[in-house]
Structures are given as structure tokens and as C-alpha cells.
Amino acid sequence: MLRPERIVVLTGAGISAESGLATFRGDDGLWEGHRIEEVATPAAWWRDPETVWRFYTLRRRALLDVEPNDAHRALTRLEREGPEMLLITQNVDDLHQRAGSGSLLPMHGQLRMLRCEQSGRRQERMSEADLDARVFAECTCCSTPSRMRPDIVWFGEIPMGMERIHAAIDALQHGDLCLVVGTSGHVHPAAGIAAAARSVGAITVLVNLDAPVNVGDFDEVHLGLAGDVLPELVDAWLKEWSDV
Ligand code: APR
């Protein structure tokens, strides 16, 4: 592949699987024992905030026990040594940040952050008190402190950064690269990014454990563990691009 001018990367839960975080679509159709509508919709938060808060507190706490893996680090290397890159992630963990990725867009929000329900202000809140599953965290921005919600894009809500995502895809030229890692291609709009990039002439490359539903949108498909496949791929690309 010739050296692209720009790269857009999309990652999903599969890239964090080797760090020990569960992916979403398990064989039983449940997400860590819950149906999605029980814990990941605005209606669930309205109906049963205690259950939703408990669920997200456990996930927020789980961040303290995991580390980035070789696949996260390979993308950091690609950003540092390769052409201009935007890394879009559907993941709400902080493993890309901790691996050193700079140009990062977490389109489904971040577990480390909470959002005031009144003002909409976001804060990074990971103190021990903020990780108590029995007590809601309160904001520091309102005169009467109000309850904060997880800063997560739930089903039925609009993903974050859509303008920036559209701009990055529009900026791709013929021969640029769109790399997708560890996502089953079920959830839109993320699942449409490869097709959109391809339609403007980008080369689309997939790294995933098994074929996702949108496998037909890719010019190159590498099936395997991201932690094995991605470092080799990035290494080969960087060599190839420095030789020309
Ligand atoms: N390396 C590469 N791919 C892997 C690995 C691995 N080690 N382990 C699993 N995978 C692949 C699976 O084969 C699957 O195709 O990662 C994919 C994970 O798919 P999902 O669990 O559906 O996760 P994702 O696509 O990120 O989900 C999208 O759905 O519930 C929502 O908002 C949530 O962001 C999430 C969105």
C-alpha cells in the first residue's frame, strides 16, 4: 500500500477483549447478565436509576484492574510514526488514552466521566466516593447539587463528535486508509464508517476475530486476535511507507 495522506481508525470492544474487558454481543445475547434496555437506555435511567448506576459503577471500577494491550499500543505507534490520523472509538473504557493515543474521539462517551443532568457539564470523576454503587454522585456546578449520570451515549441517543467524524471522512482522498478493529458492525452510525470511507476512495482494512455483518465493506480482511495481528500490520505498513 502506498503511504496514505490520512488515516481514519474505528475501534470496538474487540480491541479491549485481550485486556480482559467483555465484548457486548455474547452468545447468550446478554450484556454482563443484563438485557441492553435494562441498563443502556435513557428510559432505564429514568425508570430504575439505581440499577443503571450500579451497572456503570461496576464498569467504571473495572477500569482500575485493566491495562492497554499490544493492539492499543500499535495504534499509538501508527499515530506517532504514520500520517495524520483520527482514532474514533466506540469503546467507553480509557485504554486508548492510557496507551498514549492523542487524536481520539470516544463517540459513545467515557466511563471516567459523569455528566450533570441539569447543566449538561461533564467532569472526570473517578474518586473512591464517585465509585460507590450505593450513592449517586452529585455535581459541583449547580447551586443545589444535582445527580450526575454516566457520560455514556445510550441507545436512542446521538453519538458524540458526529461533525468531526463526517469531516474526517470527507477529508479522505483516494488511497487514504480506513482501518476498523474489533467491532461486530451491528451498531450504527459507527457501522457505516467503512462504507462511507470506501465511497470516497479510501482503502478499507478490517482486523477482527471473526467476520462482522458488514464484512463486504472491506478491501482487506485480517481475521485473528487484534493483539497479534495489529502490531504486525502496523509494523509492515510503517516499513513499507518509509521505503518509498
Ligand atoms: N481481537 C479482535 N476482535 C475481537 C477480539 C480480539 N481479541 N475479541 C472479540 N473480537 C471481535 C468479535 O468477533 C466481535 O465481532 O470484536 C467484536 C465485538 O463486537 P461487539 O461485542 O458487538 O462490540 P462493538 O461492535 O464494539 O459494539 C458496538 O454496541 O452495545 C453497544 O455501545 C455499545 O459501543 C458498543 C456498540
All structural domains of the chain with their residue ranges: 6-21+68-108+159-242, 22-65+111-152
End-to-end CA distance of the chain: 10
For residue 13, which of 59, 53, 64, 49 has the smallest C-alpha distance? 59
Ligand 1 pocket mutation pick from 11, 23, 188, 229 by most atoms within 8 angstroms of CB:
23
Across the 244 residues of the chain, what is the mean pLDDT of every consecutive 10-residue run? Answer: 96 96 71 81 96 96 97 98 98 98 98 96 97 96 95 96 98 98 96 98 98 97 98 98 82
- 13 close to 174: Cβ distance less than 8 angstroms: no
Residues 149-164, buried b or exposed e (16+ Cβ, 10 A)? bbbbbbeeeebbeeee
Q: How far is the CA of 192 from the centre of ligand 1 (A)?
A: 15
User: Does the fold of domain 22-65+111-152 match that of domain 6-21+68-108+159-242?
Assistant: no
Cell matching residue 35: 438485557
DSSP 8-state secondary structure symbol assigned to residue 63? G
Cell matching residue 223: 481475521
pLDDT of residue 186: 92
What does the alpha-carbon distance between residue 99 and residue 103 come to, in Å, rounded to a whole number?
12
Cell matching residue 101: 493515543
CA-closest residue to ligand 1 atom 34 = 90
88 by DSSP, 3-state: which?
strand
What does the alpha-carbon distance between residue 6 and residue 224 come to, in Å, rounded to a whole number?
25
pLDDT of residue 244: 62
pLDDT of residue 115: 98
pLDDT of residue 24: 79
Asked about 108 being catalytic, the answer comes back as yes
CATH number of 22-65+111-152: 3.30.1600.10
pLDDT of residue 26: 62
List pocket residues of ligand 1, CB cut-off 6 Å: 12-14, 17-18, 23-25, 90, 108, 182-184, 186-187, 208-210, 212, 225-226
pLDDT of residue 200: 96
- 57 close to 131: Cβ distance less than 8 angstroms: yes
In DSSP terms, 205 is beta-bridged to 179, 220
pLDDT of residue 203: 98
Class level of CATH domain 6-21+68-108+159-242: alpha beta
Angle 11-15-21 from CA coordinates, rounded to 5°: 120
What does the alpha-carbon distance between residue 177 and residue 146 come to, in Å, rounded to a whole number?
44
H-helix or E-strand spanning residue 170: helix 162-170
Q: How far is the CA of 26 from the centre of ligand 1 (A)?
A: 9
Does a cis peptide bond (omega within 30 degrees of 0) precede residue 189?
yes
For residue 54, which of 30, 32, 76, 79 has the smallest C-alpha distance? 32
